[in-house]
Structure 1
Amino acid sequence: MPQIAQLAETWSSQVFWLLVFFGTTFFVIGRGMVPRVMATVAQRDGQIAADLAAAKAARDAADEQEEAWRVRENENRASAQAIVAKAKDEAAAKSESKLKAAQTRLDKKLADAETRIAEARRAALAEVESVAVEAAQDIVSRLAGAKVTKPAATKAVKEAMSHG
């Protein structure tokens, strides 16, 4: 069969071109392109690792700065609270001294007013007593027709007022 006889010829030619094609492909891709791709992948992996390390360092630095800020903030807050407490104490002391001064003035005014009231009361009682003495003299003279002396009428009015 002639087709079988041609098989060896055709097969060897096909194997030859197969080896040429795959050899060329191996050298072009395997020896030329793959190392470049692998170098690019390794470079990218290195860049990613460096970026991750830089991000971790930045996060650690930010955490340290945040902690330092919190410490400063707490110190400032404590300082502000101390200032506020001091201001409250000063204001309370100032208010207390003003209240004491005002109370002293009010006590003095009250004492003066009580003195004036007592004097006014004594004056009013003396006036009432004087009017009562005159009224008693007038009433006795009208009702009884007798004349009462001023000292006797004064004594009787004082007695009546001391019992009432």
Structure 2
Amino acid sequence: MISLLQEAATTAVEHSEDAVADAAAHGDAAAHGAAEAVGLPQLDITTFGNQIFWLVITLAVLYWVLSKIALPRIAAVISDRQGAITGDLMAAEEFKQKAKEAEAAYDKALADARAEAGKIVAANRAEIQKELDAAIAHADAEIAARAAESEKRIGEIRESAIGDARAVAREVTAELVATFGGSVDQGAVDAAVDNRMKGALQ
């Protein structure tokens, strides 16, 4: 940096000396005309050397400020921003992957739940059908037993009714025979009643 400033100063001094020599060579008339000329101060050729010197100094300082302070800060900000963007993109991609994995796990859990529910329904259906078949078989057996009991009871009632009817018929027949003045042969009366009732029951 110091060497750059020294070179700039040397160059400015050389240009200043050249300008002074050129002004002296043109004579007093040119110097007098330049002194009386009306215009912008920065266009005065007698100050070109000084202007060039300070221009070089200003550019050097500006370059040093930009290269040492401004540009590193800008580069750091850009780098941080780029890192933040990259991190956000990576986080978004990670969240996207996790969302896909969660969706796949949810679909698998739902499919497993449906399969398990189907198994439970099938098992319950088979169990219910088994219990229903057992209940029907038990009901059929109970109905058959009650029907047999009813048939037996009906048979007993029928036999009892037939016996009662036979006894009544024997008594009535014996009384009728006695009423008409005949002799009552109980054996003949019983045989006649039995034959008559047997024919009626067939």
Normalised-by-shorter TM-score class: 0.5 to 0.7
Partner of 2:6: none
Kindly indicate whether residue 100 of structure 2 is the aligned counterpart of residue 63 of structure 1: yes
Partner of 2:5: none
| Cα distance in structure 2, aligned partners of 1:37 and 1:162 | 133
5+ long unaligned stretches in structure 1: none
Secondary structure, counterpart of 1:7 in structure 2 = coil
Contact 1:132 1:157 in 2 (8 A): no
Percent identity, aligned pairs only, is 25
Bigger mean CA offset, 26-35 vs 76-85: 26-35
Partner of 1:9: 41
Paired amino acid for 2:103: E
| Cα distance in structure 2, aligned partners of 1:157 and 1:147 | 19
| Cα distance in structure 1, aligned partners of 2:194 and 2:183 | 16
Considering only aligned residues, what root-mean-square deviation do their CA atoms show, in Å? 3.7
| Cα distance in structure 2, aligned partners of 1:70 and 1:54 | 24
Kindly indicate whether residue 197 of structure 2 is the aligned counterpart of residue 150 of structure 1: no
- Number of residues paired by the alignment? 155
Contact 2:173 2:189 in 1 (8 A): yes
TM-score w.r.t. length of structure 1: 0.66
Q: 1:35: Cα distance to partner?
A: 5.6
| Cα distance in structure 2, aligned partners of 1:151 and 1:159 | 14
1:93-136 Cα deviation digits (max 9, x unpaired): 23323432342233123212211210111111110121122223
TM-score w.r.t. length of structure 2: 0.56
Partner of 1:123: 160
Partner of 2:17: none
Paired amino acid for 2:117: A
Kindly indicate whether residue 141 of structure 2 is the aligned counterpart of residue 101 of structure 1: no
More relative contact order, 1 or 2 (CA 8 Å, 6+ apart): 2
Contact 2:174 2:184 in 1 (8 A): yes
Kindly indicate whether residue 86 of structure 2 is the aligned counterpart of residue 49 of structure 1: yes
